């Protein structure tokens, strides 16, 4: 109980800083979500009927995901400096694989008989993509986006190590001050808030997927 009270006291004394760090963390998640989704879905659509290109694209995205995050962020510093851009670019790279893989899987799962019927009705390839393929693949695609966002919400904590801010600042501050007073509270504050954000975002994505998925394919 004493540890819990100490944590509450620590957080209550830093409400403004917590809000600022949370907003920075959300900025990373939101911007990477938009840019990463656009890139990954576009690539997935372009390679869906090209097996060689598909394997190359997924292979590159897979390899990029294996690069240690701190190493990638540091390697980007000479190119774009410290602050927002190294984490943003690095997180965008990490976000691609789940979305791209699910986009390809979702589009590949569309029944060919449905596409043949659409072709017989006079729909061209673009019309089939927007009216048939993407709507039917949507539940799979949005699941990939959900996994991607959860992934980057955790990795974004490392942004603090390259001057990018966010909730990782609390964890970094605590680690550098152990065993001084308030160090463990700082680590717990950053960790718990990141977990809370991830759970909140996950719940919102579940509601969004249900609201945007036609009842017949839920």
Dihedral angle of Cα 128, 132, 136, 141, to the nearest 10 degrees = 40
At residue 94, the pLDDT reads 95
At residue 180, the pLDDT reads 82
At residue 2, the pLDDT reads 65
Is residue 78 over pLDDT 70?
Answer: yes
Is residue 212 over pLDDT 90?
Answer: no
> Tell me, what CATH number does 70's domain have?
1.10.3720.10
User: How many domains does the chain fold into?
Assistant: 1
Is residue 217 over pLDDT 70?
Answer: no
Residue 40 belongs to domain spanning: 2-217
Q: How confident is the model at residue 200 (pLDDT cuts 50, 70, 90)?
A: very high
Span 8-57, pLDDT tens digits: 889 999 999 999 999 999 999 999 999 999 999 999 999 988 999 999 99
Share in percent of the chain as helix, strand, coil (round to 5) = 85, 0, 15
At residue 216, the pLDDT reads 63
Span 113-138, pLDDT tens digits: 888 888 888 888 888 888 889 888 99
At residue 211, the pLDDT reads 85
Q: Please enumerate in sequence order all residues whose Cβ is within 8 A of that of 5, keeping only pairs 6 or more positions apart, or say none.
A: none
Length, in residues, of the chain: 218
Q: Please enumerate in sequence order all residues whose Cβ is within 8 A of that of 9, keeping only pairs 6 or more positions apart, or say none.
A: none
Span 201-211, pLDDT tens digits: 999 988 988 88
Is residue 3 over pLDDT 80?
Answer: no
Is residue 161 over pLDDT 70?
Answer: yes
- Region 177-192: what's the mean pLDDT? 90
Greater confidence (5 vs 3) lies with: 5
Query: What CA–CA distance (Å, rounded) separates 149 from 91?
Result: 10
**Counting beta carbons within 10 angstroms of the beta carbon of residue 15, is it exposed (0 to 12), middle (13 to 18) or buried (19 or more)?**
exposed
- Region 167-186: what's the mean pLDDT? 90
Is residue 142 over pLDDT 90?
Answer: yes
At residue 152, the pLDDT reads 94
Average pLDDT, the chain: 90
């Amino acid at each position: 109980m004493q540890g819990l009270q100490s944590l509450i006291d620590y957080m209550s004394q830093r409400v403004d800083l917590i809000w600022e760090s949370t907003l920075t963390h959300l900025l990373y998640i939101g911007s990477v979500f938009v840019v990463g989704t656009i890139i990954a879905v576009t690539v997935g659509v372009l390679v869906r009927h090209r097996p060689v290109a598909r394997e190359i694209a997924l292979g590159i995205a897979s390899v990029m995901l294996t690069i240690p995050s701190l190493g990638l962020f540091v390697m980007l510093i000479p190119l774009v400096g410290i602050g927002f851009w190294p984490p943003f670019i690095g997180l965008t790279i990490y976000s691609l694989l789940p979305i791209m893989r699910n986009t390809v899987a979702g589009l590949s799962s569309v029944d060919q008989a449905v596409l043949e019927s659409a072709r017989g009705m006079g729909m061209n390839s673009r019309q089939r993509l927007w009216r048939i393929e993407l709507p039917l693949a949507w539940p799979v695609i949005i699941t990939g986006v959900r996994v991607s966002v959860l992934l980057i919400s955790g990795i974004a904590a490392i942004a603090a190590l390259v001057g990018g801010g966010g909730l990782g600042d609390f964890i970094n501050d605590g680690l550098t001050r152990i065993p001084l007073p308030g160090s463990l509270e700082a680590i717990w504050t950053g960790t718990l808030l990141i977990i809370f954000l991830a759970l909140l975002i996950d719940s919102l994505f579940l509601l969004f997927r249900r609201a945007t998925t036609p009842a017949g394919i839920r």
